[in-house]
């Protein structure tokens, strides 16, 4: 449904070498940069961005990179130590979250807010233009097409969520808070007390009590680690909504827009039925 229009110059010799943290950022950078960039994301597979540990091949990619474009917002602060270890003194460091309005005390998966993603994309286009001024028109056109696709997707799902009478969900982990906030959904609780660690029996019991008393109809979990949300949903007879973070890979969804549509369609299906 959403078609990305990437316009590239006839020649794309010596592309800008970019490293970033997560797969979804790699995709956004590739969309804006097109053939004028090569991008490598350090976090892969089931790795967690907040607890990332570098591998040798990642160190090599950072060593030869022209640009680091990070998510920012505290998600990939470990890059400073990696760059120091590689002794890459030429690399430029770009915080893509610069100028965005962030939520307090939540996990920094900020790409789930379309407005923030658009600002990040603008920051990416500016950074690439500074590195390759002759590609400015190329980056601008790709940014414009990307922004149009995001707005179309946002408008379509916002119209559906506006029909909801009950906007409440409870989450096993705090990965999707920015998504709920952006689309006017109410996250009434997060069960996992510490990111990356299994929730305590007490936290699970308290959440199950909140769900039962409040007649909350859905619990949100991670599609890559679904068992916790599925167990709670089964015990209470509610719907598990299994979403994808886009951190380690985009295999099932292909790109940023696919990731957003995957998640939003599952929320809509669970809450609108």
Q: Which residue has the higher pLDDT, 177 or 51?
A: 177
pLDDT confidence of residue 142: 98
Name the 3-class secondary structure at 93: strand
Q: Is 159-272 in the same CATH topology as 16-157? A: yes
pLDDT tens column, 38-68: 999 999 887 778 778 888 999 999 999 999 9
The whole-chain average pLDDT of the chain stands at 91
CB distance 48 to 196 below 8 Å: yes
188 band by pLDDT with thresholds 50, 70 and 90: very high
With a pLDDT cut of 70, the percent of the chain lying above it is 95
Other C-beta atoms closer than 10 Å to the C-beta of 38 total 17
Among the ranges given (130-139, 171-180, 192-201), the one the predictor scored with the smallest mean pLDDT: 192-201
Phi, psi of 18 (to 5 degrees): -120, 140
Reported as a pLDDT band with limits 50, 70 and 90, residue 224 is confident
β-pairing verdict for 186-190 and 168-171: parallel
Residue 6 pLDDT > 60, yes or no? no
Count of CB atoms within 10 A of residue 65's CB?
A: 23
End-to-end CA distance of the chain: 23
Query: Is-contact 204 232, C-beta < 8 A?
Result: yes
What six digits make up the tokens of 163? 């029909």
Residue 48's pLDDT is 79
201-229 in b/e form (b: 16+ CB < 10 A) is: eebbeebbeebeeeebbbbbbbbeeeebb
Q: In whole angstroms, what separates CA 112 from the centre of its chain?
A: 5
On the CB side of 130, how many CA atoms lie within 13 Å of its CA? Answer: 12
Higher pLDDT, 217 or 115: 115
Structure confidence at residue 162 (pLDDT):
95
pLDDT value for 10: 39
pLDDT the model gives residue 53: 86
Residues 213-217: what's their mean pLDDT?
88
75 alpha carbon, distance to own chain's centre = 11
Q: Per-residue pLDDT averaged across 239-248, rounded?
A: 94
Contact, 157 vs 264, CB < 8 A? yes
Q: Tell me: pLDDT of 103 over 80.
A: yes
Q: Can you read off the two tokens belonging to residue 80?
A: 């400073």
120 in Cβ contact with 98 (< 8 Å): no
Q: What pLDDT is stored for residue 54 in this prediction?
A: 87
In whole angstroms, what is the distance from residue 70 CA to residue 76 CA? 7
114-131 helix and 136-161 helix, angle to the nearest 10 degrees: 180
pLDDT in tens, 225-236: 898 899 999 988
Q: Are 143 and 4 in contact (CB under 8 A)?
A: no
* Average pLDDT value for residue range 105-130: 97
Q: How far is CA 55 from CA 7, 41, 52, 74, in A?
A: 34, 12, 10, 21
Find which of 11-20, 46-55, 136-145 is predicted with most confidence, using mean pLDDT: 136-145
pLDDT of residue 194: 74
Domain locations in the chain? 16-157, 159-272
Predicted local confidence at residue 262, as pLDDT: 98
pLDDT for the residue 130: 97
Instruction: Determine the Cα–Cα distance for residues 264 and 8; give it in Å rounded to an integer.
Output: 31
**Which has the closest alpha carbon to 170: 128, 121, 129, 204?**
204
Task: Select 16-157's CATH number: 1.10.287.3510, 3.90.230.10, 1.10.510.10, 3.40.50.1980.
Answer: 3.40.50.1980
Q: What's the Cα-to-Cα distance from 44 to each of 36, 80, 193, rounded to whole Å?
A: 23, 19, 24
User: In the CATH scheme, what is the code of domain 159-272?
Assistant: 3.40.50.1980
In this model, does residue 146 exceed pLDDT 80? yes
Strand 186-190 and strand 92-95: the pairing is unpaired
- 93 φ/ψ angles, rounded to the nearest 5 degrees: -105, 125
pLDDT band at 11 (very low <50, low <70, confident <90, very high): very low
């Amino acid at each position: 449904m959403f078609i990305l229009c990437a316009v590239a110059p006839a020649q794309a010799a010596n592309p800008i070498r970019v490293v970033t943290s997560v797969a979804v950022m790699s995709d956004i950078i590739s969309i804006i940069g097109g053939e004028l960039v090569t991008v490598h994301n350090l976090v892969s597979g089931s790795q967690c961005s907040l607890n990332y540990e570098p591998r040798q091949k990642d160190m090599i990619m950072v060593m030869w990179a022209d640009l680091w474009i990070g998510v920012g917002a505290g998600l990939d602060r470990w890059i400073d130590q990696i760059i120091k270890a590689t002794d890459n003194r030429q690399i430029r460091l770009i915080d893509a979250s610069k100028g965005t309005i962030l939520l307090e005390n939540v996990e920094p998966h900020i790409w789930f807010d379309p407005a923030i993603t658009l600002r990040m994309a603008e920051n990416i286009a500016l950074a690439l233009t500074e590195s390759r001024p002759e590609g400015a028109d190329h980056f601008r056109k790709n940014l414009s097409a990307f922004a149009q696709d995001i707005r179309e997707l946002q408008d379509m799902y916002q119209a559906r969520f506006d029909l909801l009478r009950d906007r409440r969900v409870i989450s096993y982990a705090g990965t999707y808070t920015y998504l709920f906030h952006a689309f006017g959904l109410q996250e009434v609780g997060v069960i996992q007390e510490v990111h990356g660690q299994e929730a305590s029996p007490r936290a699970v019991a308290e959440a199950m009590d909140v769900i039962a008393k409040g007649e909350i109809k859905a619990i949100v979990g991670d599609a890559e680690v679904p068992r916790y949300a599925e167990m709670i949903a089964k015990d209470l007879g509610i719907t598990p909504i299994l979403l994808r973070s886009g951190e380690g890979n985009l295999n099932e969804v292909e790109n940023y827009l696919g990731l957003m549509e995957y998640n939003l369609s599952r929320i809509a299906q669970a809450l609108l039925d």
